[in-house]
Amino acid sequence: MLSGLGDGNSIPDVARYPLLTAGIGLTVMANFAAMFFFFGKMRALIESASKGDPFIPDNARRLNAMAWLLLSSQVLTVIVGELRVFAFSLIDPQSKNTFDISPNDLAGFLIVLVLFILARVFRHGAAMREDLEGTV
């Protein structure tokens, strides 16, 4: 992602643009934080499901939070890519660096959609479970 931007020959170039370098670093750190919380929610979801009934309101909220965290991670990844291209265009104006999105890169956004759908399924399943317990 940052190849060539931090090797020994380009350190003076990076030093000329400290805010850009800090922006890339902060965006990467925000992405790591989002993924840390994402996997924390996933761990809690797995623990909850292993105890018995997975269709509880907490799991629906966890799935919804996981979808938002993964969406933020996908957006942050695009931002880092664009900042990297911008950094290279400042360092070498003749560079032909572009930020290309392939169909494989869209898989993360598809997973976000699936997580939002699963959150609704779990929310509906939890409501059905409560209705069933209320009628029995």
Higher pLDDT, 98 or 121: 121
| Integer Cα distance of 118 and 60 in angstroms | 8
pLDDT at 69: 97
User: Which DSSP string corresponds to 49-105?
Assistant: HHTS---SHHHHHHHHHHHHHHHHHHHHHHHHHHHHHHHHHHH-TT--------GGG
pLDDT in tens, 109-130: 999 999 999 999 999 988 888 7
Return the domain boundaries, the chain: 8-135
What fold, for 8-135?
A: Methane Monooxygenase Hydroxylase; Chain G, domain 1 (1.20.58)
